[in-house]
């Protein structure tokens, strides 16, 4: 992994999570969130992409606009022009009672706009679509911006990430859940060193199927394979302490302010 994906002080990277439900400091997957997180001093930004009807990739987690906007329907059924008439933070609220962005609407942004507005910060980008065109569209956007060195691309959809890897063999990708499960089993029986993973990173939950994912053994195996490993989503200080002590490469959090303060204290 390049130097941009390691902190020089040995602490885990502080990775801001693009949460849209009110758990974060700002509405996730918006340009406001990205710019405020850069100003806060995070090490990397996490975001989600969905395709529009006319082939653009916009920042939104869900396949529909229902949860976050005043509109309804599938993202992929709407043009970029239609989507940008909606308020991407219409339902965002920290307390469930006040909705600060109804009077200050935030529009959807494309990945091209993000690459232009945030020219230096590393990014973890998740492709949400099953459509292979999503991989093609992101590949083209990365080429236009020339930012392949500072992104990690992931997807839960195996065929999509395979398509992206064929298009961008030099861009780092995260493991799918299938690949991560294979690695977990392999390290458990001591044969992870025999794997030749196509991915260069793993962003995984702290627990999966009732099991603790990250252990010293798992981390040693990942290190031997040269993988960047990050846990999501960690918001409580006590849990942050635990993952700092384990020596992960990154912690994905809705509260990077807490994690940054903790690192400064230590």
Domain coordinates in residue numbering, the chain: 3-61+112-265
Give the helix ranges, DSSP H, for 100-251: 111-117, 132-145, 158-167, 177-188, 216-224, 237-246
The Cα 178–Cα 256 span in angstroms is: 29
pLDDT of res. 4: 75
Q: Which residues contact 133 (CB under 8 A, 6 or more apart)?
A: 51, 55
Between the alpha carbon of residue 219 and those of residues 131, 222, 245, the distances in Å are 33, 5, 12
* Distance of alpha carbon 228 from alpha carbon 243, whole angstroms: 14
Query: How far apart are the C-alpha atoms of 87 and 195, rounded to whole Å?
Result: 45
Task: Give φ, ψ of 205 to 5 degrees.
Answer: -70, 165
Q: Quickly state the pLDDT bin for 210 (edges 50, 70, 90).
A: confident
What is the CATH number that goes with domain 3-61+112-265?
Answer: 3.20.20.190
Using one digit for the tens of pLDDT, what is the confidence trace for 28-66? Answer: 999 999 999 999 999 999 999 999 999 999 999 999 999
Strand partners, 59: 49
pLDDT digits over 98-135, tens only? 999 999 999 999 999 999 999 999 999 999 999 999 99
pLDDT at 1: 44
Would you place residue 209 in the very low, low, confident or very high pLDDT band (cuts 50, 70, 90)?
confident
- 2: pLDDT confidence band, cut at 50, 70 and 90? very low
What sign results for the dihedral spanned by CA atoms 37, 234, 154, 222? positive
Q: pLDDT: is 209 or 257 the higher one?
A: 257
Quick one: pLDDT at residue 208?
85
Q: Is the peptide bond before 10 cis (omega within 30 degrees of 0)?
A: no
How many Å apart are CA 24 and CA 119, to the nearest integer? 23
Q: Which pLDDT band, with edges at 50, 70 and 90, does 77 fall under?
A: very high
Q: pLDDT at residue 244 above 80? A: yes
- Give this prediction's pTM: 0.96
158: number of Cβ within 10 Å: 12
């Amino acid at each position: 992994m390049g130097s941009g994906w390691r902190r020089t002080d040995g602490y885990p990277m502080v990775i801001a999570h693009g949460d849209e439900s009110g758990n974060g400091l700002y509405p996730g997957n918006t340009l406001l969130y990205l710019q405020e997180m850069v100003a806060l001093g995070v090490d990397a930004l996490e975001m989600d992409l969905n395709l529009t009807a006319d082939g653009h990739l916009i920042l939104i987690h869900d396949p529909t606009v229902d949860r976050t906007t005043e509109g309804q329907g599938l993202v992929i059924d709407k043009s970029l022009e239609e989507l940008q008439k909606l308020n991407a933070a219409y339902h965002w609220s920290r307390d469930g009672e006040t909705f600060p962005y109804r009077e200050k609407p935030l529009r959807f942004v494309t990945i091209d706009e993000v690459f232009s507005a945030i020219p230096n910060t590393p990014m973890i980008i998740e492709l949400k679509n099953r459509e292979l065109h999503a991989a093609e569209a992101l590949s083209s956007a990365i080429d236009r911006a020339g930012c392949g060195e500072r992104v990690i691309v992931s997807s839960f959809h195996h065929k999509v990430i395979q398509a992206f890897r064929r298009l961008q063999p030099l861009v780092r990708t995260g493991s799918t859940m299938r690949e991560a499960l294979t690695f977990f089993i392999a390290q458990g029986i001591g044969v992870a060193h025999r794997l030749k993973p196509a991915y260069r990173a793993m962003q995984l939950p702290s627990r999966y199927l009732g099991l603790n994912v990250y252990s010293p053994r798992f981390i040693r195996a990942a290190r031997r394979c040269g993988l960047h490993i990050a846990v999501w989503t960690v918001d409580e200080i006590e849990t942050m302490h635990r993952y700092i002590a384990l020596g992960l490469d990154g912690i994905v959090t809705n509260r990077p302010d807490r994690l940054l303060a903790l690192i400064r204290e230590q």
